[in-house]
Amino acid sequence: MIPSPGRDNNQPRVARINPGINIGEPAPAANVRPKPRIAWHRRPLFSPGLDGENLVENLEGGPGGEEWTFREPSHSQSVLDGLNDLRSEGQFCDVVIVVDGQEFSVHKSVLAAASSYFKAMFTCNLAESNLAKVPINGVEPGIIKQLLDYAYSSEITISKDNVQNLLSAANLLEMLPVRDACCQFLDRHMDETNCLGIQSFAEAHSCCELQQKARHFALKHFTDLIKGEEFEAIPQSQLIDLIGSDELEVGREEDVFNAVVKWVESQGGNR
């Protein structure tokens, strides 16, 4: 190679760099701000919160702790309200409940979560699991509507007019909180005129606690309840259970005898 004039071939070559260019660290991209770093310092036990003047207690497990598991108290109700709105709008409904010709569009997942009866129906390969319309027998349309509304709202209205039908339906559909609420309602409204009927009704629906409460009430108020019509309608087995109990509270033995005579006469010789 022919050397260039005026250059010493033994001298190392030096790259020429245009002024203003830094070949060290790469230049930061335009309009990109560096991520701010948070300096963690131990805060005092009591320090001003986000609300300014109010003092927020900085307890372990709260927002001032090392970790904080946040829970929104109204989240569950908000989700229920949202699902209920979707039901009202007919959005994402995947099954129709049919009762006496009336149809109710609902979500399988909501019913399965609220009722063991529906969970088994939709998850255990039963015939109803593949039906677009599922008939429910033995329940009034108004009662099933209340129970479906409860599944989406967690609220239901219990009254003297609907408590028996509501308890029967809730027991059938295995909505146990509603069944238990109906038992509480009957317990609070128990008196000498209805305790025997409540005892029989509770026994028929396997509500053992309510049954025992009604039986205890009848034994304690036996003298008063034999004056009512309900006493004459009880079956023989229930009468024998009452008069044969050591817990029966009566003033005289004659009261028991007169009660049995009254019950026998009311049967018209049929028993």
Give the mean pLDDT of the chain. 85
Give residue 269's pLDDT.
Answer: 56
**By the 8 A CB rule, do 257 and 223 touch?**
no
- Residue corresponding to tokens 């009566």: 250
* Residue ranges in the chain whose pLDDT is less than 50: 1-2, 21, 23, 52-59
**By the 8 A CB rule, do 260 and 239 touch?**
yes
**CA angle, 168 then 129 then 144, to 5°:** 25
The partner residues of 104 in beta bridges, in order of sequence, read 97
Instruction: Report the alpha-carbon distance of residue 245 to residue 230 in Å, rounded.
Output: 19
Give residue 44's pLDDT.
Answer: 54
Phi-psi region of 138 (alpha: psi -120 to 50; beta: other; left: phi over 0): left
Give residue 126's pLDDT.
Answer: 86
Give residue 220's pLDDT.
Answer: 96
Query: What number of residues does the chain have?
Result: 271
- What residues contact 114, with CB distance under 8 A and at least 6 apart? 150, 151, 175
Give residue 62's pLDDT.
Answer: 80
Phi, psi of 263 (to 5 degrees): -65, -45
pTM of the model: 0.76
In 3D, which of 190, 183, 244, 188 has the Cα closest to residue 219?
A: 244
Helices H, strands E: what count in the chain? 12, 5
Give residue 163's pLDDT.
Answer: 98
